[in-house]
Structure 1
């Protein structure tokens, strides 16, 4: 099982240091979340910068809220990032559930699932080099990034087999097991060859209590409650145990999210996962 890092959003100026340390270490991927009405760096712009500052590590949105964006432009941006990064970009995609994000983007939150389905049909055609419509021709580059889906309900997870390459699971490990199995069922339903790529997320902060306290504070502010913060993994033994549990559930990759911007977490995670 590969190990990636979810990037902190509290201090965007620290992200180049995180990315370059991770690129020199054992990590496979850098992940970055997406919000609109929040003080976080825009993920596609940020990951393009980090891809240009690294040599081998992949960059991944976890997850990009597609209904907030204009579809042909999103197709072009994601294809461009895949092309210029040397195919190191993964488009983790979902719908989001916060009303303020959708209000600011002028998107109807009640139709967000249907909007995403329509976007996926258009983006896959554009990535294949097909014309946009009778009025507009192809929109390059004709490059298809890897596509992973995040979500919690069966309708969202069913997109894995229909449109994607794999699934991003967040939440308690018991929930991860359920969603992994649903993703595999979707893959079989659409008679896809092989199997979907399965990625699990863990929130962790290893080291001084001050780092864990900062991580919990950032998580509580972002999510608006303490549920995720209370599940923060703070010891090497607990982290090893949860990583083993994810691997036993069939995860191909685990993404470790530390909400504190302390770049020493990169080295502490490397020590634990070695």
Structure 2
């Protein structure tokens, strides 16, 4: 099972330090969250900068809230990032659950799932080099990024088989087995060959006590719910156990979200990666 890192959002100035350390280490990917109504870096812009500062590590959104964005432009941005990064970009995509993000974007919150389905249909056409309509020439580049879906509802996870390459499972580990199973069912239902790529996400903060405390503060501020701080893995033994559990569930990759901006977390986690 591969191990990636979820980048902290509390201090954008340290993101390139994080990225370069991870790129020099054993990690497979760097993930970045997406919200509009929060003081976080916009993920496509930030990951483009990170792509230019790294050489081999993959970059991915986890997850980009597509219904907040204008569809042809999103298709062009994500294709460009895939092309210029040397095909290192993964578009992790979803609908989001916070109504304030949609109010700020003047987007439809109630029908965001339908919006995403419409977006996916159009983006796949554009990535294939097809024109949007008879009056408009094709929108390039004709490059399709890898697509992973995040979500909890069965209808959301069913997009894996219809449109995607794999699934991003967040939440407690006892939910991961169920959502992984739904993703695999979707894959088979839609007649896809092989199997979907399955990625599990964990919240982790290793190092001195102040690192874990800072991480709990950051995750609580982001989600607006102190319960999320209780999901934080803060000891090497617990992290190893969680990773072993994820692997036993069939995960191809684990992304460790490190909420404290302290870049030394990269080094602490490196010591645990085979």
Task: Report 1:61-210 matches (<5 A).
Answer: 61-210=61-210
| TM-score (normalizing by structure 1) | 0.99
User: Aligned with 1:267: secondary structure?
Assistant: helix
Partner of 1:266: 266
Task: Report 1:209-248 matches (<5 A).
Answer: 209-248=209-248
Deviation at 1:97, TM superposition (A): 1.1
Deviation at 1:207, TM superposition (A): 1.2
Counterpart contact for 1:63–1:94, Cα < 8 Å: yes
CA distance in 1, matches of 2:19, 2:219: 21
Residue-by-residue CA offset, 1:62-87 (whole Å, 9 max, x unaligned): 00000000000000000000000000
Deviation at 1:160, TM superposition (A): 0.1
In structure 1, stretches of 5+ residues that fail to align are: none
Partner of 2:48: 48
Q: Following superposition, which runs of at least 4 residues in structure 1 exceed 4 angstroms of deviation? A: none
Partner of 1:27: 27
Aligned-residue RMSD, C-alpha = 0.5
User: Aligned with 1:220: secondary structure?
Assistant: helix
Residue-by-residue CA offset, 1:143-174 (whole Å, 9 max, x unaligned): 00000000000000000000000000000001
User: Aligned with 2:212: secondary structure?
Assistant: helix
Deviation at 1:134, TM superposition (A): 2.0
Deviation at 1:227, TM superposition (A): 1.5
User: Aligned with 1:90: secondary structure?
Assistant: strand
User: Aligned with 2:271: secondary structure?
Assistant: helix
Deviation at 1:272, TM superposition (A): 1.4
| Worse-matched range after superposition: 223-232 or 112-121 | 223-232
| TM-score (normalizing by structure 2) | 0.99
Counterpart contact for 1:240–1:273, Cα < 8 Å: no
Residue-by-residue CA offset, 1:223-245 (whole Å, 9 max, x unaligned): 11112101110100000000000
In structure 2, stretches of 5+ residues that fail to align are: none
User: Aligned with 1:93: secondary structure?
Assistant: strand
Q: Give the number of equivalent residue pairs.
A: 274
User: Aligned with 2:272: secondary structure?
Assistant: helix
